[in-house]
């Protein structure tokens, strides 16, 4: 578990994590509204060398950004489980890095190998992250970063 005291802390951490990512990486971000999923994704984007501003993709479900690797930023909130025939599986298998907010709404199509991150909004406004690695490459990343 890691605890962040500010938005900036969280962004810096996202930047560091991004340096361990590879083509086809999949990260899910679970946590309540305002937990910091999009904020953390901004850090990932910075680490991937994306200069465009990353903001909430709520109205588009997925936004694509070009960087060292492409970033596919998903927000499945509005899908509420209606995810058939949208072609997301192809994106998960693509060269890019997929970061998925509200993974619960597409849980039946998520790849087995992925890094699940649970974000907890604490009463004092700090945020704690819990990591759950599925697959050897992600276990390696959590080990390397001592998570």
Ligand X SMILES: Nc1ncnc2c1ncn2[C@@H]1O[C@H](COP(=O)(O)OP(=O)(O)OP(=O)(O)O)[C@@H](O)[C@H]1O
User: 48: which DSSP letter?
Assistant: T
**Choosing among Mg ion, ligand X, none, which partner's interface includes residue 131 (Cβ < 5 to 8 Å by kind)?**
none
Choosing from 31, 38, 61, 138, the residue that interacts with Mg ion (CB under 5 A) is 38
Q: Which positions ≥6 away from 115 have C-beta within 8 Å?
A: 25, 26, 27, 28, 131, 132, 133, 134, 138, 141, 142
| Binding span for ligand X by CB under 6 A among 37-45, 80-88, 91-99, 136-144 | 37-45
Scan residues 41-70 and list those touching ligand X (CB under 6 A): 56
Choosing from 37, 42, 114, 127, the residue that interacts with Mg ion (CB under 5 A) is 37
Binding to Mg ion by residue 42, rule CB under 5 A? no
**Choosing among ligand X, Mg ion, none, which partner's interface includes residue 10 (Cβ < 5 to 8 Å by kind)?**
ligand X
Binding to ligand X by residue 7, rule CB under 6 A? yes
Q: Which positions ≥6 away from 19 have C-beta within 8 Å?
A: 47
Choosing from 84, 85, 90, 125, the residue that interacts with ligand X (CB under 6 A) is 125
Q: Which positions ≥6 away from 69 have C-beta within 8 Å?
A: 21, 22, 23, 25, 48, 95, 96, 97
56 vs 135, which CB is nearer to Mg ion? 56
Q: What is the distance between the alpha carbons of residues 51 and 49, in angstroms, rounded to a whole number?
A: 6
> What's the chain's Rg over C-alpha atoms?
14
Binding site for ligand X (CB under 6 A): 4-7, 10, 31, 33-39, 56, 101, 125-127
């Amino acid at each position: 578990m890691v605890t962040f005291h500010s938005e900036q802390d969280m962004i810096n951490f996202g930047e560091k994590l991004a340096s361990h990512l590879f083509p086809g990486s999949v990260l899910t971000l679970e946590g309540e509204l305002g937990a910091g999923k999009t904020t953390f994704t901004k850090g990932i984007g910075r680490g991937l060398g994306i200069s465009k501003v990353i903001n909430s993709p709520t109205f588009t479900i997925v936004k694509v950004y070009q960087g060292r690797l492409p970033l596919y930023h998903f927000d499945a909130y509005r899908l509420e489980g209606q995810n058939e025939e949208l072609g997301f599986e192809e994106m998960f298998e693509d060269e890019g890095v997929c970061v998925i907010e509200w993974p619960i709404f597409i849980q039946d199509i998520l790849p087995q190998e992925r890094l699940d991150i649970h974000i907890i909004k604490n009463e004092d406004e700090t945020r704690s992250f819990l990591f759950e690695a599925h697959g050897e490459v992600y276990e390696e990343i959590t080990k390397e970063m001592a998570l």
